[in-house]
Amino acid sequence: MAWLIPHPLLPTSLFPSGLKARCSSHPSFLEANRLCKLYKIHTPGIQELQKLAFCSHLKTKLETQALSQRSETAMAQERFFNLFPLLVLVLLALGCVQTSLGKESRVMKFQWQHVDSDTTTSSPSYCNEMMKRRDMTDGWCKPVNTFVHKPLADIQAVCHQRNVTCKNGQPNCHKSTSKMNITNCHLKHGSKYPKCTYQTSQEKKYIIVACEGDPIMPVHFDDSV
């Protein structure tokens, strides 16, 4: 829609029709000067004051429009820079939460697969029952697994004991200072999914676990010696 309002000193009837249409949508102040020159050419009989009034009015409108556009751009940039630090904080928080959840899930997995505080277990069918109960025969037969018959807190204490190198070369493994009751479960030769059958063997050995996090927690059973 045209935004140009004729100046009171310049009757609407004196506007050349083509010029009025172009004045309503021109993009720049320089274009205003060019249109003013054209207007003077097309209306040679109008007094100079009227011509100047028209040009002044046209330039003012253009300048106001340009300032308004710049102001909107500046406001948009200001809003972006005001929100940017908050966006960074949100992303950092999400990263920390994801990392925390990852570590927590590893601790929970370790506890689920390797911790059984019941020290009275001696049944030959222990491994068949426990491997199924702890979901290690769900979709496949896990070949080997070790259950430590101590509370998680006692196994966590190992993370503060002797530091040793893990089997994979990582430096975050720890060896217990005392022997613990453990049960080793080995998949029997020829046993295949879905019928997973295990050999149960109970021993008393030093355990080696990999530890991570703050507070430091066991996340992987590495070996027993």
Question: Could you tell me the pLDDT band of residue 115, with boundaries at 50, 70 and 90?
Answer: very high
Question: What does the domain layout of the chain look like in residue ranges?
Answer: 1-114, 115-224
Instruction: Give pLDDT, residue 4.
Output: 42
Tell me how far apart the 2 most distant CA atoms of the chain are, in Å.
Answer: 117
Q: Give pLDDT, residue 197.
A: 98
Confidence band (pLDDT; 50, 70, 90) for 10? very low
Strand order of the sheet with strand 144-148?
Answer: 144-148, 180-187, 198-205
Does 71 have pLDDT greater than 90? no
The one catalytic residue among 57, 149, 174, 220: 220
Rounded distance between C-alpha atoms, residue 161 and residue 159, angstroms: 6
Token pair belonging to 13: 């009837």
Q: Which of 114, 149, 160, 174 is catalytic?
A: 114
Residue 215 preceded by cis peptide, ω within 30? yes
Q: Give the pLDDT score at 30.
A: 58
Catalytic residue at 220?
Answer: yes
Q: What is the pLDDT of residue 72?
A: 72
Q: Does domain 115-224 have CATH number 3.10.130.10?
A: yes
Question: Residue 20: what pLDDT?
Answer: 45
